[in-house]
Amino acid sequence: MYVNEVTVRFCETDALGHVNNTSYFIYFEEARVQFIASLGYSMNVEDWRFIIASTKCEFKSQGYFDQKLKVESYISRIGTKSFQLEHRVTCAQTRTLIAEGTAVVVYFDFANQRSAAIPDDMRHELEQHLIAEGERV
The number of domains in the chain is 1
Residue range of the domain that includes 77 = 2-135
Distance of CA 84 to the CA centre of its chain: 9
Q: Minimal CA–CA distance to 100: which of 92, 109, 111, 89?
A: 89
| CATH number, domain with residue 14 | 3.10.129.10
pTM of the predicted model over 0.85 = yes
The 10s digit of each residue's pLDDT in 34-85 is 998 888 887 777 878 899 999 999 999 999 999 999 999 999 999 999 999 9
The 10s digit of each residue's pLDDT in 112-136 is 999 999 999 999 999 999 987 655 5
